[in-house]
Amino acid sequence: MKKYDYLIVGAGLYGAVFAQEAARAGKKCLVIEKRNHIAGNIYTYNCEGINVHQYGAHIFHTNNKEVWDYVNQFAVFNRYTNSPVANYNGEIYNLPFNMNTFNKMWGVITPQEAAEKIEQQRKEAGITEPQNLEEQAISLVGTDIYEKLIKGYTAKQWGRDCKDLPAFIIKRLPVRFTYDNNYFNALYQGIPVGGYTKMVENMFGDTEIMLGTDYLADKEKYDAMADKIVYTGPVDAYFDYKLGTLQYRSVRFETELLDMENYQGNAVVNYTDYETPYTRIIEHKHFEFGTQPKTVISREYSAEWQQGDEPYYPVNNDQNNALYEKYKALATEEENVIFGGRLGEYKYYDMDKVIEVALQVAAAELK
């Protein structure tokens, strides 16, 4: 008899959902987490009364009512709606691409005028079937917006030319012919009052958690402790990179406490020219309508991931997806291990999708 039913590797959102469901099913779990805190990349900490998103801005949004009801058991969500602005060499545009953006770019007033302008630019570029991010972007919003708001930002974000990136990445953003700056097409949206860490803490409840513990550093010892493993770390690291290394993008966050009330007037400002070395500046207090006398900002510098860095974004191009499929075949052979989450499944998952998948997997596993 092993001491635990499940050993959960990683105290992020996937691990927290699984732990919550397992506890409800009467199972005994141990969570081990490499970092010295819970909540994975959605970790927030308090600085001068402001909840700081240590690993980048996180806005909860979903169209899935089941997921929305689920998270609302663990936190109260505020009414924050994400409406980033883009700064292109000092010119300010609204995001996502909507009538406010089109008006500022071209002076067009009606949706029809905007659609005609885009169609004209798409035709001039000669695109019929978009094959990559550049062609997809131009066919959705035209050349001017591509040049000013997409090309430089994407090159910085991914360290790759837009021609070498999959089209789906740009399809994450809505294109709207209404004057609506809501970044997401989601029925439900908000930020957990009091921060994400508190929410994840509530999900873990009484589950035992060991922080500062790397599963892969002593895998055999930990495997002996539980009947099954739920692994939410990078899938290639689990197999000691034996088939090669999957590519990730990493981010360096430069965070500053400023002695002023309001630095940029918005939670998220994207710097879309190529020359500005960071991709965006986050002003954390605005996620919760903060009125503190000070403010905290984070500049995000995107970088290619190297061993030892935090892997944030899977680079889901054909080459990496093909390698992932090979790792997935190996993962399927590991009978007592469930691979889950953004790193375990090498997928560009948002939080709501992570919860949806974790709930499905837990339901099948614990039935």
Q: Is 12 in the site for ligand FAD (CB under 6 A)?
A: yes
Q: Is 270 in the site for ligand UDP (CB under 6 A)?
A: yes
Buried/exposed 105-135: b ≥16 CB within 10 Å, e otherwise:
bbebeeeeebeebbeebbeeeebeebebbbb
| Residue 45 structure tokens | 């900490």
Q: Which of 232, 196, 209, 234 is nearest to 42 (CA)?
A: 196
Q: Which does 10 bind (CB under 5 to 8 A by kind): ligand UDP, ligand FAD, none?
A: ligand FAD
Q: Is 233 in the site for ligand FAD (CB under 6 A)?
A: yes
Q: How far apart are CA 203 and CA 75, in angstroms?
A: 10
Residue spans of alpha helices (H) in 43-195: 65-71, 99-106, 111-125, 133-145, 151-158
Active site residue 348: yes
Q: How far apart are CA 165 and CA 249, in angstroms?
A: 13
Q: Which does 154 bind (CB under 5 to 8 A by kind): ligand FAD, ligand UDP, none?
A: ligand UDP
Active site residue 122: no
Q: How many CB atoms lie within 10 A of CB 356?
A: 18
Q: Is 20 in the site for ligand UDP (CB under 6 A)?
A: no
Residue spans of alpha helices (H) in 285-340: 318-333
When the beta carbons of 19 and 343 are compared against ligand FAD, the nearer one is 343
The footprint of ligand FAD on residues 296-315 (CB under 6 A) is 312-313
Q: How many chain residues touch ligand UDP (CB under 6 A)?
A: 13
The footprint of ligand FAD on residues 27-46 (CB under 6 A) is 32-35, 40-42
Please state at what angle helix 13-24 crosses helix 196-204, rounded to 10 degrees.
Answer: 30
Active site residue 21: no
Pick the catalytic residue from 93, 135, 146, 176: 176
Q: How many CB atoms lie within 10 A of CB 281?
A: 22
Pick the catalytic residue from 70, 146, 215, 249: 249
> For ligand FAD, what does the binding mask look like between residues 170 and 209, x meaning CB under 6 A?
----------------------------------------
Helix (H, G, I), strand (E, B) or coil at 170: helix
Q: Which does 117 bind (CB under 5 to 8 A by kind): ligand UDP, ligand FAD, none?
A: none
Which residues carry out catalysis?
172, 176, 249, 280, 300, 348, 350
List of residues contacting ligand UDP (CB under 6 A): 86, 95, 149-150, 153-154, 157, 169-170, 172-173, 270, 272
